[in-house]
Amino acid sequence: MILHSFYARMVAMPALALYEPDMALNVGAAMRLAACMSVQLHVIEPCGFPWSRQKMRRAGMDYMDLAQVTRHRNWDDFSNSTAPRRLVLLSTRAAQPYVDFAFQSDDILIAGRESSGVPEFVHQQAAARILIPMAESTRSLNVVNALSMVLGEALRQTRATR
């Protein structure tokens, strides 16, 4: 695992971002995903819950210290600190299925709030919008489940070209 983490820091890798998450447990699950896959996690605040080290340690279990998590005060802070990386928004409003999308190694995959997604200005600033095709009678997946699926495809594509 140490070699894998070292390798991940030396090579451009996709990253994850949560836009104003409502639930600490989802942030904890995203931390675990980021730690296990050696990718960075960006949390764009404000969150819908009070952030405390104790709460996040409980939500992220023992993965909190293994994950590379960057907290951003707001969208502008996130946007300024991650430019010029390409922002890829997971959205139920998108037309392009994620399996038909060409990922790049420095993409940031963004998932919106559990309760309301992202505002229109985030849609406009995203370089690409992708969707996970689902059964007709369903609305959405859990944000971390969705990020897991899309990150798996992004890693498959970007690691295959090396």
Instruction: Please tell me the pTM assigned to this model.
Output: 0.88
For residue range 8-50, what is the model confidence (pLDDT) as tens digits?
Answer: 444 689 999 999 999 998 999 999 999 999 999 999 999 998 8
Above pLDDT 90, what percent of the chain? 76
Predicted pLDDT at 162: 38
For residue 57, name the pLDDT band (cuts at 50, 70, 90).
low
For residue 60, name the pLDDT band (cuts at 50, 70, 90).
low
Nearest Cα neighbor of 26 from 140, 127, 107, 138 is 140
Structure-model confidence comparison of residues 138 and 5, the more confident one: 138
Whether the pLDDT of residue 7 is over 80: the answer is no
For residue range 63-120, what is the model confidence (pLDDT) as tens digits?
Answer: 778 889 999 999 999 999 999 999 999 999 999 999 999 999 999 999 999 999 999 9
CA 119 to the chain's CA centroid: 16
Structure-model confidence comparison of residues 159 and 104, the more confident one: 104
Q: Is 28 left (phi over 0), alpha (psi -120 to 50) or beta?
A: alpha
Architecture of domain 2-160 in CATH?
A: 3-Layer(aba) Sandwich (3.40)
- Between CA 47 and CA 73 the distance in angstroms is 10
**Structure-derived torsion over alpha carbons of residues 127, 29, 76, 11, reported in degrees to the nearest 10:** -60
- Between CA 98 and CA 111 the distance in angstroms is 13
For residue range 107-134, what is the model confidence (pLDDT) as tens digits?
Answer: 999 999 999 999 999 999 999 999 999 9
Q: What is the mean pLDDT of residues 135-150?
A: 95
Predicted pLDDT at 50: 84
